[in-house]
Structure 1
Amino acid sequence: MSDFRLWHYDGVTAVRRSVLLRPAGDGFLLEEPESGWTGAQARWTDLTVIGADKDRSAYGHSAIPGWRMGFSGEVPDGIAMHLPKAERYGRWIDRFGFWPAAGLFTVAAALVVWGALEAPGVIAPLIPQSWENRMGDAMVGDFGGRFCHTAAGDAALHALVAQVDPDHEAREVTLANIPMVNAVTLPGGRIILFDGLLQQARSPDEVAGVLGHELGHVRHRDTMTGLVRQLGLSVVLGGAGGNTGAYLNGVLAMSYGRDAESAADGVAIDQMREAKISPAATAAFFERLGGREAGRGAQAMTWLSSHPLSAERRRRFAAAVKPGTAYRPALDQAQWRALRGSCAADRKVAEFWGDGL
């Protein structure tokens, strides 16, 4: 038992609590004696470093957005031994140093010039996840307050994500107030749905299919592969400082290869099968969207511009429907209305004002 005091946000309310930490099994409990509040048990392995230095430290929870725990001063040994260590660049890079690691990346790039088309798929998985996360976090800032939030809309989005991504492979899924039929996967496992996509969709099952497809890009780190292919290793070695706008435009304009699209479709179909969500609606959505796109010409930043469809891909979703399966809607009607109306109902969200972000 420890009487060490910390501050804490539970990720549900905006209340900052002064808490005690009590070890419990392979984790701990946070309690606020003054109010009698006790939080859910957390595991030490769930903690992620937000910021840690000599005098101040803050940690998040890998599965609970908004969960925060922090303190100042010297950490008691019984707690310090369990806390994750802050990574500046990544574990093995911190061990050997930035410049030796940069040199190794440069040599690796030179060796694979001959295989330019295949090399990005080999290099991207070697990029430290911490670098990729920071790059995605920086790109999020370029959306400038255009993320939509309402209590009912957020709850509906979380319910949809919980079905399609039960293992929390995506670090965050958000809705942006941008009237384009699009969804984008940023580096670091961030998925952003555009409001135009929700307004075009006729059911939450259609959005579930798109979300599952983007989850496939997260799982396979396709965005980093595409950025390395487009911009070279400079996008990694240079970090995100000063160039986030250019990198974000690169992501928005990115077109994935046939193999990556097929693999992402497979993830979407698998996740929908596990969630008992019919892929028929996604097939119909692709068919409808493809027909409209062909009828009026390609438009910038639409989902089809970065995820070109084919009759074969649409047929694959349709063929994934299993007769006799008891499918269920991804959201009920009240949740679907709340999600689609989230941007319109959020009075604080920034308005979209043009083709650029």
Structure 2
Amino acid sequence: MTVSPLWHYDGVTAVRRNVLVRADGTGFHLEEPDSGWAGVPVQWADLTVIGAEKGRSAYGHRTLAGWRMGFSGEPPAEIAAHLPRAKRYGRWIDRFGFWPAAGAFTLVAGLVVWGAAEAPGVIAPLIPQSWENRMGDAMVGDFGGRVCHTPAGDAALRALVRRVDPRGEAREVALANIPLVNAVTLPGGRIILFDGLVQQAGSADEVAGVLGHELGHVRHRDTMAGLVRQLGLSVVLGGFGGNGGSYLNGVLSLSYGRDAESAADAVAIDQMRDAAISPAGTAAFFARMGGKGEAARAEQAMTWLSSHPLSTARRKRFEQAIRPGAAYRPALDRAQWTALRSACASDPLVAKAWGRDF
């Protein structure tokens, strides 16, 4: 088969030749009839695409430096079938096509995002409890000098914990002299109530609801899952060596996710039901903190920790958990509630501690 004409540089001289192609199955050679010049045999498989646009194309050789041939028009049909195709996107995208490749990429990206979101929840339960406990113990050190203790206040807090957590799932519940409307669950089953929360609460029932919610995070090990998601497994594991206190800010800024928050609310409602504590107090707490309006105020910026968005839906859930005619009892009696609220102010060792670092 002879095809003409096309241009060619042999890579040895700078002469541009107008040549013919003489094909013979798996390869071809070029020749210039006017001068009698003939090129070396070339295999079709050795051709590479230099450039290909509509009406023009150029090809090189895999091993012959400077070797070039090209068509000023479309290659004839009898030779076009042997020429390599230009790679528009690159490798496997050209092989399978743009849209199939785009679909595959979207699927893989979705799996990666899903894995990043779900993997921490799978990994966290596999972390030895002893390691998590050591990390939480180290973090408690960052609250040094702020944990409030009075005989009556400690007794009231223990009474509240016995009501909400009768099985002792939380390793420790403490009250810290920090004037923020907050509570935090540390690794290892430690719950810290902030005095600002106790002072803003209208009753011990409201604090019981918050404590029950934090107990849900303890039960589901949400703090560890959040730390793995936020900091990475290797960083979290590095904290078990005794430096876990440096990760306290990470815990304070954790966002557990809607499902985890909903599951923690469910634990709070169950624990309060079993303890005969009315969920009406927690609903009232949500109403004050998050706004009671059904539209514009349904999602306000005020939060009990940035990780606990207060919403109308959450308030309604606690309201719907109220059982008409149930024999509810206050979470604490009047004297106990007074002792808990005055614990930080009555402890001279922590009365001004929060102002040093927070």
Distance change in 2, residues 1:115/1:160 (3 Å) = same
**Distance in 1 between the 2:171 and 2:142 partners?**
18
1:84-233 correspondence to structure 2 within 5 Å? 115-233=115-233
**Distance in 1 between the 2:184 and 2:276 partners?**
24
TM-score normalised to the size of structure 2?
A: 0.64
**Distance in 1 between the 2:125 and 2:281 partners?**
33
Q: Deviations over 1:93-121 (max 9, x none)?
A: xxxxxxxxxxxxxxxxxx98871111000
- SS of the residue corresponding to residue 185 of structure 1 reads strand
**Distance in 1 between the 2:227 and 2:328 partners?**
37
Aligned: 1:334 with 2:335: yes
Aligned: 1:275 with 2:275: yes
- Alignment-derived partner of residue 353 in structure 1: 355
- SS of the residue corresponding to residue 192 of structure 1 reads strand
5+ residue gaps in structure 2? 1-110
Distance change in 2, residues 1:262/1:114 (3 Å) = closer
Question: 1:219: Cα distance to partner?
Answer: 0.2
Distance change in 2, residues 1:222/1:265 (3 Å) = same
**Distance in 1 between the 2:326 and 2:305 partners?**
30
Q: What letter matches 2:198 in structure 1? A: L
Question: 1:215: Cα distance to partner?
Answer: 0.1
- SS of the residue corresponding to residue 309 of structure 1 reads coil
Structure 1 vs Structure 2: percent identity of aligned residues?
A: 79
Q: What letter matches 1:128 in structure 2? A: P
**Distance in 2 between the 1:244 and 1:344 partners?**
29
**Distance in 2 between the 1:219 and 1:138 partners?**
20
Over aligned residues, Cα RMSD in angstroms? 2.3
Q: Deviations over 1:58-102 (max 9, x none)?
A: xxxxxxxxxxxxxxxxxxxxxxxxxxxxxxxxxxxxxxxxxxxxx
Choose 1 or 2 for highest CA Rg.
2
- SS of the residue corresponding to residue 251 of structure 2 reads helix
- Alignment-derived partner of residue 39 in structure 1: none
- Alignment-derived partner of residue 289 in structure 2: 289
- SS of the residue corresponding to residue 284 of structure 2 reads helix
- SS of the residue corresponding to residue 303 of structure 1 reads coil
Question: 1:242: Cα distance to partner?
Answer: 6.8
Task: State the aligned residue count.
Answer: 243
- SS of the residue corresponding to residue 175 of structure 2 reads strand
Question: 1:244: Cα distance to partner?
Answer: 3.2
Q: What letter matches 2:332 in structure 1? A: L
- Alignment-derived partner of residue 78 in structure 1: none
Question: 1:245: Cα distance to partner?
Answer: 4.4
- Alignment-derived partner of residue 312 in structure 1: 313
Q: Deviations over 1:172-206 (max 9, x none)?
A: 00000000000000000000000000000010000
Q: Deviations over 1:200-240 (max 9, x none)?
A: 00100000000000000000000000000000112332134
Q: What letter matches 2:322 in structure 1? A: V
